[in-house]
Chains A and B, each alone.
Chain A
Amino acid sequence: MSSPRYWRGIPQRYRLEAGKCRKCGKIYFPPRLICDECKSREFEKVNLPKEGKILTYTIIRVAPSQCTDQAPYAMGIVELSAGSTGKDGVKILSQIADCDFDKLEIGMPVRIEFRKIYQEGEAGIICYGYKCVPV
């Protein structure tokens, strides 16, 4: 992914900013323009909580080119706790870092941390974002 495109996602990648539908309350991460439940176009910005639990995961052993130096690594879908959003069950896709693969399990509590995601191209531009780590 090119750096400008990556940077446009900074509010989500750095601060977990999501869009909450003002009409029906559904939360979208990343944010979107139209609510697929009620078709409303009005959203408010909410910051997602930084804790959750693993819903499912896999260990990537053959990684895409930007991530080969990190393989093998775990990727998972994490369900975030309700926190200040007042809504349970917002899900995000994230790398699960600093973990022992044998000890990973569904339901395991994790927290979200600000991490280096990968280095881009020959210039080595560092892209930051979120990763989960077991609590």
Chain B
Amino acid sequence: MVADPLRILDCSPITDGAAAVILAPLDLAKKISKKPVVKIIGSGHATDTIALHSRKDLTEIKSTERAAKIAYEMASKSPDEIHLAEVHDCFTIAEICVIEALGFAEKGKGGPATEHGMTTLGGKIPVNTSGGLKSKGHPVGATGVAQAIEITKQLRGEAGERQVKNAKVGLTQNMGGSGGSSLVHIMEVV
């Protein structure tokens, strides 16, 4: 037990790691890339208080909710048009709150939905096919870019055994300060 009710496997291990992506204007990307090009179609950033005791509700991650709204609007997509997502599951409860904030599950239903397989490979919305922070490790500075890499691999159909079938639109959600700041990106293969 680390802090009730979180046990050791509920907590992401802080690890070493590195990640990098190449960003380019779409025309140039199409010219130089030998692989399918993935385009960022939505991007949202929002903040909340860092102090947990200052938040109205501890079971909501408002910054993710606001960031997602901005990104969905920019991308003209709704949560049910997203084929897979990489989210910041620093602790078990974080993923549950995040999938609710992203609109994949109703408020208070993220836990049961996960138990019933909604977020597994082959589920309605596969979440963290990379393993996420808990299973892949959490190299704090590299975690967000690593999410973009996993989505890119999936959208290109290069994810091997963990490939999500017909994945065309993916989402990444990253946060810091226990949800004090959140970023949501939506990507599409072109």
Contacts and interface: CB of A to CB of B under 8 A. Distances in A.
Interface of A: 28, 36, 56, 58-62, 75, 77, 91-93
B53 A60 contact: no
Interface in B1-42: 1-5
Contact of B58 (A28, A56, A75, A92): A56
A61 B2 contact: yes
- Chain B interface SS verdict (over half): loop
A60 B2 CA distance: 6
A93 B2 contact: no
Contacts of B54: 28, 91
A59 B2 CA distance: 8
B52 interface: yes
A42 to B, nearest CB: 20
A49 to B, nearest CB: 15
Nearest to B49: A36
Interface of B: 1-5, 49, 51-54, 58
B58 A62 contact: no
B53 A58 contact: no
Query: Looking at chain A's contact residues, is the secondary structure mostly helix, strand, loop, or mixed?
Result: strand
B3 A59 contact: yes
Nearest to A78: B53
A132 B4 CA distance: 19
B53 A93 contact: yes
A56 B5 CA distance: 12
Nearest to B7: A61
A58 B3 contact: yes
B3 A60 contact: yes
A93 B53 CA distance: 6
B99 to A, nearest CB: 21
Nearest to B59: A56
A91 B3 contact: no
A6 B3 CA distance: 25
B162 to A, nearest CB: 31
Given A58-B5, A61-B1, A61-B4, 12 more contacts: A28-B54, A36-B49, A58-B3, A58-B4, A59-B3, A61-B2, A62-B3, A77-B53, A91-B53, A91-B54, A92-B53, A93-B52
Contacts of A58: 3-5
A76 to B, nearest CB: 9
